[in-house]
Amino acid sequence: MKIAITTTGKDLSSPVDPRFGRAQYILILDQDGSLLEAVDNSPNVNAMRGAGIQAAKLLADRRVDVLMTGHCGPNAFRTLNAAGIKVVIEQSGTVREALDRLNRGEVKFADAANVEAHW
């Protein structure tokens, strides 16, 4: 299982970035915490529109199974849903803490976006 977690840094001790589409980095991890890839998301940080859609596409291309982040808008959610990626929202603390919560089964998967689309 591949897990993507949005963050402001490049390792597991970095804090979770609450933004999905405009997060600085997206870490791709496996379930036991090995870092598979630290994706630099800067092209989407400065996108005028559609940052969430592009970030979702980036995860779909990497065949990610679960995304953990803070907020997820409707366009991003629709794209993630089409790609079959499960979404865990309202995450905070460090990347490792978020992963631990997932592994302990303390999270539930979102069934809708939790923020409005941005302009």
Partner 1 sequence: MPTLPTSRLTGSIMIISVASGKGGTGKTTVATSLAAILGSRAQLLDCDVEEPNCHILMRPELQTSEVVSVPVPVVDMEKCTQCGRCGEVCRFSAILVIGTEVLTFPELCHGCGGCSLLCPEKAISEGPRELGVLETGFAGPVEFVHGRLRVGEAMSPPLIRAVKAKIKSEKVAILDAPPGASCPVINTVSGSDFIIMVTEPTPFGLHDLRIAVEAVSHLNIPLGVVLNRADIGDREVQRYCDEMSIPLLAEIPHDRKIAEGYARGDLLVTSASEYITLFLGMYADIKRLAGNRITGPRKATA
Segment holding 36, helix H or strand E:
strand 35-40
> Does the footprint of partner 1 cover residue 53 (CB under 8 A)?
yes
What is the rounded distance in angstroms from the CA atom of residue 66 to the CA atom of residue 18? Answer: 16
Q: C-alpha angle with apex 108: 85 to 110, nearest 5 degrees? A: 50
Could you tell me which residues come within 8 angstroms of residue 8 by beta carbon, excluding any fewer than 6 positions away? Answer: 14, 15, 17, 23, 24, 25
Single out the residue of 36, 54, 101, 107 in contact with partner 1 (rule: CB under 8 A). 54
Residue number, 47 or 115, with CB nearest to partner 1: 47
Interface with partner 1: number of residues (CB under 8 A): 16
> Does the footprint of partner 1 cover residue 26 (CB under 8 A)?
no
User: Within 10-117, where are the H helices?
Assistant: 42-45, 51-61, 74-82, 95-103
> Does the footprint of partner 1 cover residue 22 (CB under 8 A)?
no
> Does the footprint of partner 1 cover residue 49 (CB under 8 A)?
yes
Stretch that binds partner 1, among 4-12, 28-36, 54-62, 104-112 (CB under 8 A): 54-62
Stretch that binds partner 1, among 31-39, 74-82, 95-103, 104-112 (CB under 8 A): 74-82
Supply the minimum distance, in Å, between the C-beta of residue 49 and partner 1.
6
> Does the footprint of partner 1 cover residue 45 (CB under 8 A)?
no
